[in-house]
Structure formats: structure tokens, C-alpha cells
Structure 1
């Protein structure tokens, strides 16, 4: 005997579902129970006694009992299953938790009401088992006696598995760590640090796309970041207005795109396609359901899971010709702020953490794009335009976002530990140095600020080249100022690396 597929993998093969395989696949056969994990995938081997009845109902029940619910598989399965199968399950076990969950999922994904009476008054069961899936805030469905904790809505719903990495980040309480940093910080120092972090986030977000954030372009994005609290992702107009604010006015959109686009690169005289976006005729419906998902995930049990689901799915939809990546990263900040994960009026420069290792960012994006591309039939016409020849809408509506959540958690943790904490520490050190300079010589604010900046950048002294910029000071004056800073920062000045920036002086404020 050999191991045979069971559960969701059986449903894929026997219902001929055209969906990426789930991250957790199950098999039954002779031998001991074991779990094999690698490359983001898990194979669960069950011994023969665990084998379900070899029917659609049997494998559906096995999947609901033992496997994380994969929204892509389950949505496709429910649309392919004969409704009589679900009716028979419910009639055979009207009080059964698994039959009621199967019934709920059928009506959830198909939006069809089966000819069945409401469930009897029994204890509610959750649509997603919290041990196997990360869920959203629960809403009771009286008809099924099932608590709907799906990560989305019928037309747009993602899967997140509570992996050891995600459980670990949840246990760390990284949002509480950030709040403690803020509480322990002088309000004036915090305000000036946050001001710089807005600039840092803007610069890094543009750098990810190999662009420079300068002048009005940078100012527009900073202004957008400052208004995350009032932004409504469920509003088409808010999305269009945001896109108009952060891109070159010549590429400002009047609405969502009405043409096919793709992500790729030009090699010689041909285009290398990395990812094909949804068909334009599917986009209005997709954006409407994406907006509904965004609203549904308010108050989600896991704010980072909500931020990943909303922001990454947006960039996969790619509703505009330009600005999609920046809006995607803006949405991360918006959701974290909306859910109270980020301290009030504070911003984590997540893009700075992303840009330090962009290969990991690309790998996170490819965790969706690579398996999805296997199910998109497309061709390049003579005008070098991509033409999609099959129905792909469901590929963007339902997918496993686990790796995206793990990635976002890691970047948030990194930016709190490194960028956010170091900026607060640096600003406090900077203020000490600034005050020391003003104690020795009553220099104008901007001159004192410039002196401290040069001192920090050169790791504890003013270089000969920069000394020429202070021709009003003698060598003895400069040595006195350097000595005053060293004494104030004893034992050593903070090492700010090669980050050449102009820090606003305390007197200048923001």
C-alpha cells in the first residue's frame, strides 16, 4: 500500500479544482503518524486508522477536523460540490460541529441558501479552529450556530496559519515594547524623532522602487502618511485621491485602471513577465470585495495579520498604473494605526527595514505570485501587451497569506528594535550635544545644529573639510566645543554610522 491524499488535497484532485495546493497537505497509509516541514510547506502523514470515508463528505469532514482551512481550496470546493452532499451531512448530523461548519462555509462562499431549516439550539462552533487558523473577530451566524471568524468576506478571504514564527511574535508583544519606549521618552524628543521617521519612511519607500524622494514628491508622501487616521480604504475616492497625491501629476489616475497590466522587466526588445495582475473587467468587483474585507478586518484579533492581508492583497490587485507599491506600504501604516497597534501619532519606518534586505521582500511577494502564475493563462500579443485568456479572479480573492504575515511581523519587530529605538536614543544624545555646544558658545540655532551634525557624522570630531564651514571659529573654539560634547556624552558619543542628515535643533522644533 502507498500513502494516498486525504482532506483538501483529495478535494483538489477529485473535484478537479484549479487552485494552488494548500501549504499543509495530508496523506494516509501504513506506518506511524509523522509531520514533515520544509520550504514553507508541511506534509502530514496519518496512519491507516485515520483514513476518512472515501467520499466528498468524508474528506471534507477530515479537512475541517485536522487541517487549516485554505480559503482558496475551500471556496473552489464549495462551488464545485453538489449541494446535496452538504444537505445530507447536515441532515445526518444536525447537531454536529463539522456538518454545521461545512454548511456555513458552503453558504458563505457560494452565497446560496440551501433548503435546510436553521440549526437547532446547540453550542456555537467557530468556522476556523483557532488552533489551526488565525481568525478575525467573531460574528455569530444564528442559522448555522457557527461563529464567523473568517479573515475576510465571501468575495475576498485569506488564510493565515498560526505558525511557530507567528505565535512567537504574538507572544513577544512587540506593540507593547513600542509603547514602553514612547512612555519612557521625553515628549519633545519623541516629537522630533517621529518627525524624522516620517522622512526616513518616505525616503525608504521610494528607494524600494529605485526612486529618489526629493522636493515636492517627498513632501506629498509625508503629508499622506500624516493623514493615515482619516483615510478610508473602503472609499474608492480616498484611494484615487491618495494615488494622485503621491505620484507625478502627469500619472494621476481618475479611477481604477481599465487596461491589463503586469509586473516585469524589459530585456532587449522583449518583456520578461514576473507577475500578471487581474484582468481589467474583474477589477471593479475585486476592489469592491477588497474594500469589504478591509472593513471586516477592523478589530481583528491580530492587527499584523490584518495589515498584511489588506496591504499585500492591494498590491497584487495593482489597481493603478503608478503608485501601487507606495500605497501598499501606506496601507500597512494605516491598518496598524487604525487597530491601535502603533502608538498614537507615531510611525514605524517599516520601509527602512524592508530596504535593508530587499531580497526578502521580493521573496515574500513571490510567495503569492509564483504559485499564482502557474494558474494564469496568458500570452503576449504583437504590441507587447499581455492578454489573459482564462478566468483568474478567484486567484486574487482567496490565498494563503501566512508567509506575508510572518514577513511583516519580522519587519515590524526589526524596525522597533533598530530604527525606532535607535532614533529615540540618537535624538536624546543629539540634544545633549546641542546643549553642550550652546553652553560654550552662544551660536545661532542652525549653526549649532550643523556643528553637532558634523560631529556625530564624523564619530566624535569635526573633519578638516567641515571646519572650513565655521570660519568664524578659531581652532581653539572648535576644540573647546568638541571637548564639551565629549564630556557631555561621556563615556562615548553615539555612533550614528554614515547617516548624513540634518537634525532639527531643539529650539527649532519640528
Structure 2
């Protein structure tokens, strides 16, 4: 009895499922009901009275009653478990809420139809429990009398657990916080701050990939961001055109990749350490086709941050292009938030700047998916140090628990609204005050005054010795006078 596996964890063991284990792992123990937060899993302990029959149907019933669902485990289990056992159970409980949910999930996730007549006059029940999951707007299935509130479409479903962190961020209403803040900023100040925000997001997005964009690359990426709200990610040609716009023309794609890709690092003796294996070339087109359908539904049915996280992270895991995947991944976050009116009109949240401040946390979030996935991808290194995948892996990219990515994106949005958005607005306000202080003291050309102010603001309000050489026309007394005027102006702004 002690530590006997239950629910999805037991299904994983019993059916020998070739997918990562669920994050929530239920066990039977002597004693009281307990929850233990582990480093890589949430352990739910149940007393003996909860233990079901030790067969696939028994543990599926337990999972539907007591656990948040992992879409990877659930889909694999439903495809592997005996069909006859499911039919027998559902026919024995034709009006049961749990049996109808199992029936709906089986037919939706496997594409197979059970030999069961349509449900009669019974009350509709949600496919996913909204108290345990973040769910989409429901569409009714008349056959099962179940409300389809899943996140995705047949061929591409994800689950997001309703964790305390996500609940807290939803309650914070970050979009309303940002809108309230920007409404109190003078229009001209906000307009200039937005230009800094676009530049900051662009440079940060490139720097995450250890690149420094050329002025032309920077211009093209900013132009893409400015049109982000109108972008249509479900347009296959439009997505390829976006990739062409933001990468070096030599690496512009004419279609999704037809070669195997992986993420890794080169070690000594030219050996490769593989961190992530992308989908097989033959799977990329079908995956992207279903990704576009999923994207359309999430934008319509899911709350904006959940939709943005799921759309953006699944894209980067598919890795459809040779170059530009990471930048498009972060671009898609902006597109969804802008198109769903989560971001204030005309503003951009520089999420990449928040990511860049703690790049290890970003890597950890990505690894929460890639590390477990890698144990289920069988591959070999070719003589040319390329990866050859030896087993079928498409299901690993289509169905999984995406909770970590929603939590991560919410964290970064909260950070960038609290820090980056306010920093850029405050910079413009301080610059204007300092500029006015300078021109009130000396009748300088506009460009010279701007350069002087920037030089002082970059050096704690003082003109450095090196920058002093750029202003030979000013006396030391005049420079001291201007520095004091700038300090006084900024102090007055801080007090206000």
C-alpha cells in the first residue's frame, strides 16, 4: 500500500507510456491526505479509501476525479488502453459525468469512435475541471453532452494547471495596471517612450541569442513589431515572409525546414552535447498545420497570456526554420497580447528585456520541457555530427503540460510592466527636465544640448573627463553651472 502509484502516474507505469511522467503524481499512503511540493513534481498523497481498481479504467476514473490532467500522458494512455474496457464502463454509466468526460476525451484525442449511442437528456459537464485547469471558452458536444473547454484542437492539445502563481497573476490584472499607468502619462512623453520600448525589445531579443543586430536588422525587426497587432500567424506564407524579414537574406526560408535540427553545444574533440532535438523533418509540415489551427482557437477561446505562452513556446519547440525561430517566438508573444487588447494601444511590453535580465531562468523554463522530452527521443550522431532521430516523436510536441510556460510569461510581464515600462517613461521625463535646464542656462543647438544631457545622465549627472573634450566651447564654470541646473531639475522631478 505504501506509496502505491495512482491515476496518471499508474497509467504511465501500467501501459509503459513513452512520454514524460506527469508533474502531479498521486500515491496511496497510510495516513491523511497530503500535498508535497517537490523540485520536479507535485506529490499528492491519498489515504487507502481513494485507491481504485488496479486497471486502466480504474486509474483513468481516479485521474478524472482527483487530478489535473497532463495532456501528454492522457492522450498516450487513451490510445494504449483496451477499447473494450472503456466501452463497457461508459455503457454501464451512460449518464455519469466522469464516464461522459472519458468518452469525449477518448474520441477527441484518439480520433476513434466508441460503439456507444449519443447521450440522452443529461446536463452538460465540462471536459476539464475549471477549478484544476486554465480552460478555454466552451463549445458543446451534443453527442457526449460535454462542454469542450480544451486548450487546442484535434492533433494539438495542451493543458495548463490552475496553480496558485497563475491565479495570483490573473487576480493582479496586469493589463489594467499597465493601462491605468499609461493613461496618466502625457501623450507626447508616452509616444517617445514607446520608441525606446521598441528599440529595447529589439536589441534584447537579439542579445538573448548572443547577436548584435546591424542597424538594418534592427530597423526591420522594429518595423515588424510595429505591425505586430495586424500580423496573422495562421497565414503560412505570412509566417515565412516574417522570417525572411528578420534574418540575414542568406538564411531566408522559402518553406519550413526539410532537414533535422537540434540545439546543442560543441565540446572538445568536436563532440556535440545535445540539449534539445527538434521534430523530424517529415513531421514539421503536419505539426505547423495543426499549430496554426490551435493558434486560431486559442486566440479566440483562451485568456490572452495563456494563449500567448502556448502559441509562442510551441512554435519555438517545433523550430520550423533554420534561423529566426527565437525572435519569432518572442514576436508571437507581442502579437497575441496586442491583438487581444491586453497590451495598451500603441504600447509594447519589452518582455525580452525581462528575459535577458535572468537568462538562466529562461533556460530553466525551456529545459523543463526539453530535458524530459530528450529521454524519449532515440537518436544517433552521424559522422558529420548531425542528429538522426530513430523513433516516432511527433506526439511529444503535440500534447503536453504547458503550465510552466504560462507561469513564466506572467512573471516576465509583471516584471517588465513594473520595471521597463516605468523606466522608459521616467527616462523621457528626466531627459526633458534636464534638457530644459541646459537650454535655460546656455543657448546651445538642440543636437549639442541633447548630447550633453545624455552624457550627464549616463554618468550620475556629471560630464566625464572623456566627454568634456566634446564641448571645448564651454568653460569649466559653465559646465559646473549646467550640471547643477540638471541636478536641481531632476531633484524637483523626484520630489513631484
1:234 equivalent in alignment to 2:234: yes
Paired position in structure 2 for 1:319: 320
**Alpha-carbon distance between aligned partners in 2 of 1:29 and 1:466, rounded to the nearest angstrom:** 71
Report the Cα offset of residue 273 of structure 1: 1.1
1:44 equivalent in alignment to 2:44: yes
Q: State the Cα RMSD in Å.
A: 1.6
Paired position in structure 2 for 1:488: 489
**Alpha-carbon distance between aligned partners in 1 of 2:325 and 2:389, rounded to the nearest angstrom:** 21
Paired position in structure 2 for 1:82: 82
Asked if the contact 1:429–1:493 (Cα under 8 Å) also holds between the matched residues in 2, the reply is no
**Alpha-carbon distance between aligned partners in 2 of 1:305 and 1:39, rounded to the nearest angstrom:** 23
Q: Which sits farther off after the overlay, 184-193 or 164-173?
A: 164-173
Paired position in structure 2 for 1:453: 454
Alignment deviations for residues 100-152 of structure 1 (CA, whole Å, 9 cap, x no partner) = 10011011111223232221222211111011111112111122111111111
Report the Cα offset of residue 330 of structure 1: 0.7
1:6 equivalent in alignment to 2:36: no
Paired position in structure 1 for 2:373: 372
Asked if the contact 2:230–2:339 (Cα under 8 Å) also holds between the matched residues in 1, the reply is no
Asked if the contact 1:459–1:493 (Cα under 8 Å) also holds between the matched residues in 2, the reply is no
- Matched residue SS, 1:114: coil
Paired position in structure 2 for 1:94: 94
Report the Cα offset of residue 171 of structure 1: 1.5
Q: Which sits farther off after the overlay, 423-432 or 238-247?
A: 423-432
Alignment deviations for residues 458-487 of structure 1 (CA, whole Å, 9 cap, x no partner) = 112222322221223333332332233223
**Alpha-carbon distance between aligned partners in 2 of 1:166 and 1:479, rounded to the nearest angstrom:** 52
Report the Cα offset of residue 25 of structure 1: 1.0
After superposition, residues 26-45 of structure 1 pair within 5 angstroms as 26-45=26-45
- Matched residue SS, 2:216: helix
Report the Cα offset of residue 299 of structure 1: 3.5
Paired position in structure 2 for 1:185: 185
**Alpha-carbon distance between aligned partners in 1 of 2:247 and 2:302, rounded to the nearest angstrom:** 34
* Unaligned segments of structure 1, at least 5 residues: 495-510
Q: TM-score, normalised by structure 2?
A: 0.96
Alignment deviations for residues 29-50 of structure 1 (CA, whole Å, 9 cap, x no partner) = 4322211111141111111111
Q: Which sits farther off after the overlay, 315-324 or 81-90?
A: 81-90
Asked if the contact 2:139–2:147 (Cα under 8 Å) also holds between the matched residues in 1, the reply is yes
1:333 equivalent in alignment to 2:327: no
**Alpha-carbon distance between aligned partners in 1 of 2:347 and 2:137, rounded to the nearest angstrom:** 25
Asked if the contact 2:9–2:25 (Cα under 8 Å) also holds between the matched residues in 1, the reply is yes
Paired position in structure 1 for 2:361: 360
**Alpha-carbon distance between aligned partners in 1 of 2:104 and 2:2, rounded to the nearest angstrom:** 34
**Alpha-carbon distance between aligned partners in 1 of 2:29 and 2:481, rounded to the nearest angstrom:** 80
Alignment deviations for residues 420-456 of structure 1 (CA, whole Å, 9 cap, x no partner) = 1111112112112222222333322211211111121
Paired position in structure 2 for 1:498: none
Paired position in structure 2 for 1:20: 20
Asked if the contact 2:153–2:294 (Cα under 8 Å) also holds between the matched residues in 1, the reply is yes
Paired position in structure 1 for 2:473: 472
Report the Cα offset of residue 375 of structure 1: 0.3
Report the Cα offset of residue 88 of structure 1: 2.1
**Alpha-carbon distance between aligned partners in 2 of 1:21 and 1:174, rounded to the nearest angstrom:** 33
Alignment deviations for residues 319-373 of structure 1 (CA, whole Å, 9 cap, x no partner) = 1111111111111111111222111111111111111111111000000000000
Q: TM-score, normalised by structure 1?
A: 0.94
Alignment deviations for residues 237-285 of structure 1 (CA, whole Å, 9 cap, x no partner) = 1111111111100010100000001001112322111111100001111
Asked if the contact 2:6–2:27 (Cα under 8 Å) also holds between the matched residues in 1, the reply is yes
- Matched residue SS, 2:118: coil
Paired position in structure 2 for 1:385: 386
Pairs aligned (count): 494
1:292 equivalent in alignment to 2:327: no
Alignment deviations for residues 290-344 of structure 1 (CA, whole Å, 9 cap, x no partner) = 1111111014443212111111111111111111111111111111112221111
> Which consecutive aligned stretches of 4+ in structure 1 deviate over 4 angstroms post-superposition?
491-494
**Alpha-carbon distance between aligned partners in 2 of 1:85 and 1:447, rounded to the nearest angstrom:** 81
Q: 1:442 to 1:120 in 2, by over 3 A?
A: farther
